[in-house]
Structure 1
């Protein structure tokens, strides 16, 4: 949607219809995921110069050198996670808060962590405004997960690691699912679905992706 095509008053329904059509055409078919993405307005999570492009299927810059993922990738990752209503989910990489807000409509509780304090603060404000009381957001080194609240039914990582991080795998319940982008550079990455079995872990490669790298430590921002 170009600037000239930006939605005007009265076109919200058409805008939403186009948004959902774009998701379906790119493989997001789960009705619960589509309903959650319809309920969460991406426009609230994109500010400044790029606000008018919030409903395009593309990643956009957010503060601290991070990005908000393109909606179709958010949908594919959420679909692969197969979140159930009683699940507790850990998200590593809060970013804008968009992914956590969608998960909040699907899970019992969502823990989301980010190394950037500013992003966590701004996401917390949005969660309060939206009445999403089942999200716990905090600044932390997500590469180590949250051992004090583990294990988790589902874990989603929104930054790329060279391999699925061992501490996160260890915090996954038996039968639990983790979705994580894996790759050694920002040009060669694949989305991986990991299922914890009694005999170990099952790995399924889903699709090529591009994410910012998963970094250790907590930022000064």
Structure 2
């Protein structure tokens, strides 16, 4: 009886929820989403690389706030630490160290904006359709305990998904070892070629019989 009552209560609560009665968290989610979308659009449309990197910080930070509003605290902090704190900083350091142009650059526009816009709209439509179809009847209780904390994520990762986690770690380790091997092989090849080039003139100018020497002696 209690189970049936709980199911009935949950169904009634789901029916009362709608777009005409949004909560404060839902309004904040929509506002942050609009800001994130605008920052993403400016990131791909501006012709100044530094401005694009800074607007990318705003877009990625907006995604982190969205994760926090969805009670996914662990994913939100991963977003901040990895993307905002590492990728964007790496991009800015790359711009400074390579002396790339920081002003308006005509090279920042490839001239394929219609194709890029069509691909972006198609990809966004496909993602929206997949997400809506997969989570049509899924509701997140924002007033309840957070479901995406570090403890919950760690327990799920090392209990239910431990085998894929270990497989992914081995794959990343193999990729790292392969990159090191390829870099060392390339360096060794360049060094051996340099040695061959440096020894070739020495072989030609070494102490050997000069074919022109007998002619000179005969001339004397």
Give 1 or 2: higher strand fraction: 1
Q: Between the two structures, name the one with larger relative contact order (CA 8 Å, sep ≥ 6).
A: 2
Q: Which has the larger radius of gyration?
A: 2
Place the TM-score, normalised by the shorter chain, in its bin: under 0.3
TM-score with structure 2 length normalisation?
0.21
Give 1 or 2: higher helix fraction: 2
TM-score with structure 1 length normalisation?
0.21
